[in-house]
A and B are shown apart, each in its own frame.
Chain A
Amino acid sequence: MISRRDLLKVAGAAAASVAADRPDAVAATPADAPAREAAHGQPAAGAAPAGGPLQALTADEADLLTAIVARLIPADATGPGAVEAGSITYIDRALAGALSDDREAYRRGLAAIERYARSSRGAPFRELSPVDQDSLLIDVETGGATWAGAGFDGSSAAFFAMLKGHTWQGTFGDPFYGGNRDFIGWDLIGYPGVRTSVTAEDQRLGAVSTPVRRSAYDTDMFNKATASAAPAGDRRADHA
């Protein structure tokens, strides 16, 4: 019997070839290649170039962010992770547009993590072992890095929560925004994909729905204009 996971894998491979027609398409990467690299503490390089030139982050910031994100959702035995899914591209584009209010928080937060790595672990974050990287990130997550003089804006936990939230958005959100490349995120959790109509059979226990691997904006049904650009709250406000 073929499991739903197996079906998803097959469909994922099919989607990768379809994705070549997309403007932000990248060549499909064998799932085990990045896994091998990450296992040795070397984040898969080139996440930003694969999504086009950086729009908000500096190259150094993107490299550090890549190393962090590679620990949050690693490429490992269960498949590719957040880096391979293009979450850096998602965050970079968002910081240049809808989330531009957070640009400064990233600049300060990433610089603080790097300072904290040097002061508490004696080396730049990217040169630490995966175990040390994880223990450092736990310090940041729990707020333990806040008082180390690294320069976090408020609690380090707040920056971690924001970064993690954006990483999840870039891994599991609609690929229209530059992340969830090759539907890596949706394959990971078994999401059968965006449909515009769902049958009763699709909602039965044990149903196996053929995964749909497309963006909401791959059809002509929906306006794209509302999906990007300005920060929340600043449009259509009828104030002088």
Chain B
Amino acid sequence: MPTTLETRDVAIVGLGAAGGIAALPLAEAGLDVVGLEAGTWLTRRDFAPDEIRNNVRSWPQAVQKANHEVPTHRPRPDAPTTRASSHPMMNAVGGTMLHYWAQSWRLNPWDFRVVSETTRRYGRSRIPAGSTVEDWPFGYDELEPWYDKVEWETGVSGRAGNVQGRLDPHGNVFEGPRQRDYPMPPLRGTGFTDLMAAAARGLGWRPFPGPAQINSRQFQGRAPCAYHGFCNRGGCHVDAKNSTHLTTIPRAMETKRFTVVTRAHVVGLDVDAGGRVSAVRYVTDGEEFVQPAKVVLLAGYVYENVRLLLLSKSRAFPNGLSNNGGQVGRHYFSHAQGGGVSALFPFDLNTWYGLPAQGTAVDDFADDNFDHGGLDFIGGGNLWVYSDRRPISAASMSTFGRAPSWGSAWKAFIRQHADRVNTAYLQKTTLPYESNYLDLDPDVTDPLGQPVLRITADYQANERAINDYVQDRMEHWYRAAGAVEVQRGNLGSMGPTTHAFGGTRMGDDRETNVVDRWGFSHEVPNLGVLGGSVMGTSGARNPTLTIQALAWRTADHLARNWKGIAG
């Protein structure tokens, strides 16, 4: 028999990047808020610089509820379905922000207007066939104040390139205008990233240090980055990475109106006779609880948001909550993060230390920052090189055909070259397509017997054309910096990823979108959705800052319109 708990004003499902933000403005507005989180609290003492544990054995993200619910994947309905052994995301207070790279980009203004800008500049026919991309219901200007708020309230370091229209060539001159600078200067350059920046300038490009939600100096009483080299898949041992478990969540708890419930494994959302969401059901150690709430904010990762809606079937919503229009799971896409480029240099790079967010970016070939008139694709990619290396991965490097992969000859090679390779991270525009979607897997269940999510998705011609174009540019850049060998990675498949988007897309048209421009369901007025699942375009950069700006905006909207939404 489930235990029914006392009704709260707002129940937030998931306390990661999105839910962890929303808690603060709601609690500060005087609302009574509970956050249900599947994971637990972790502290700096849990984040040892240990490659075996963090990277090889994927702790902490492997010890999680999420690993019991890894989505299956097939590129097309007629292709075999496969399932990865671990989930790309983790459960904890702060979520995957605990170990993410913390690159904290704003989307480019073009990303909000892909359809209208492409049509205006090149003609409607340039929207790729089969794509379901739409303009966002608002432009960059609408989100700018919320980007600014997240940057200053949680702490983002970076070099502005466009403050109120004044361009600074040391920052990103392609970014949309911002009302003021970042609260902290960028993370420092290294010998290698400075070398790459100089090479880019030599090519006539405009390199700049990327933004990071990491302290470049003391901020809000927390330490600056120690650059120790274990940021990638490891949490921060000095609390310099500004996850919500260090920023907005503790502040929300200080109001005494926000309660964090850990180890709450949410299994479904209930609706009342009127078709409004009424409660969240969760399980802890096999015991079931019902948490009634006047408003529910679904703030899990893309896969879990979509899955919980599809699992929550009722008389009013026989195909899943907020899915009478059949849009839950549609317009799914994930960043084309594969297709990296690696280079071998004839000298040591000294990149044993640093972090993935400590690097040099080139945006000249991202979004619509260059003329696509003679090209066969729209969008582009962000070029990113950074300082990051650990010993096992270093010893596992490609030998670029210059040595075998083991034995004495390999040993002689690795002794000379372990610090001479670098791999660029190339994030590229990915569009939503009719043929790419999420639904429940008909065969695979989690240990509770509930179906896991199934991803049906594959890159299309536009993504593959971008990949070729961007890899060409990256190879050019590496060779200009002195590389003697260059290798290109494959774009890969669209299986589970850390950069997933869509499935509960935001838009004014309720025929093609699940949530409205404020993030509330078109069908269930007291249900809000936070996270990458509401985003309709990916841009060519990491989504977390946009997710947080949207979350703050939705929470603020709820607080200001409480009576109308809570009923």
Contact = CB atoms under 8 A, between A and B. Distances in A.
| Of B39, B263, B406, B407, most A-chain CB atoms within 10 Å | B406
A217 B229 CA distance: 16
Interface size class of A (residues with CB under 8 A): 35 or more
A106 interface: no
A36 B549 CA distance: 63
Contacts of A72: 406-407
A30 interface: no
A2 interface: no
Interface SS, A side: loop
B65 interface: yes
A81 B411 CA distance: 9
Contact of A174 (B38, B51, B86, B395): B51
A56 interface: no
B353 A226 contact: no
A223 B411 contact: no
Contacts of B354: 198, 203
Given A204-B190, A205-B195, A227 B48 contact: yes
Interface SS, B side: loop
B59 interface: yes
A189 B56 contact: no
Given A173-B391, A190-B419, A216 B50 contact: yes
B76 interface: no
A134 B47 contact: no
A188 B408 CA distance: 12
Interface string A191-213: 11011111010111111010000
A159 interface: no
A1 interface: no
Given A191-B352, A207-B191, A223-B48, A238 B65 contact: yes
A235 B391 contact: no
B511 interface: no
A98 B410 CA distance: 29
A208 B461 CA distance: 47
Given A169-B392, A185-B395, A233-B68, A203 B353 contact: yes
Interface in B366-398: 387, 391-392, 394-396
Interface residues of B, number: 71
A152 interface: no
B406 A191 contact: no
Nearest to A217: B48
Nearest to B410: A73
B265 A205 contact: no
Interface of B: 38-40, 45-53, 56-60, 62-65, 67-68, 85-86, 188, 190-192, 195, 226-230, 237-238, 263-265, 283-286, 347-354, 387, 391-392, 394-396, 405-408, 410-412, 414-415, 418-419, 447-448
Given A203-B190, A206-B191, 6 more contacts: A81-B411, A172-B392, A185-B391, A223-B48, A232-B67, A238-B285
Top-6 shortest CB links A-B: A240-B286, A205-B191, A222-B48, A189-B418, A203-B190, A232-B62
28 contacts: A134-B407, A165-B396, A168-B396, A174-B51, A189-B391, A189-B418, A190-B348, A195-B228, A197-B227, A200-B188, A204-B350, A205-B191, A207-B350, A216-B50, A217-B48, A221-B45, A226-B53, A226-B60, A232-B58, A232-B59, A233-B62, A233-B86, A234-B63, A235-B63, A236-B263, A238-B265, A239-B283, A240-B448
Interface of A: 71-74, 76-78, 81, 98, 134, 137, 164-165, 168-169, 171-174, 176-177, 185-186, 188-192, 194-198, 200, 202-207, 209, 216-217, 221-223, 226-227, 232-240
